[in-house]
Structure 1
Amino acid sequence: MDQAVLHFIESAARASDVAQLNESFLHTMRGYGIGLFAAAVLDPLRLRPEHFLASNYPSHWIEHYTDRGYDKVDPVVLRSLSADQAFVWTEPQAPRPAKQLFDEAAEAGIVSGFAVPITLRNGRHSVVSVTSDLAGDEFERLMKSSGRAVQTAIYCYHDTLCDLAGIGGHRPSPIPKLEAEVLRWLAAGKSTQAIGEILCMPECAVERHVVNALERLNLTSRDHLAAEAWRRGYLSA
Structure 2
Amino acid sequence: MDSDVPKSRSARPSRSGRPRSRDTLSREERKEVTRRAIVAAALHLLAEGSFTGLSLREVTREAGIVPAAFYRHFDSMEALGLVLIDESFRSLRDMLRGARAGKLDPNHVIDSSAEILIASISDRREHWRFITRERASGVAMLRYAIRTEIRLITSELAIDLARFPGIKDWSSEDLNILANLFVNAMISIAETAEDVSDPSALEEIKRTAVKQMRMIAVGVRGWRSVERD
- When normalised by structure 1's length, the TM-score is 0.28
More helix by share: 2
More strand by share: 1
Larger Rg belongs to? 2
- When normalised by structure 2's length, the TM-score is 0.29
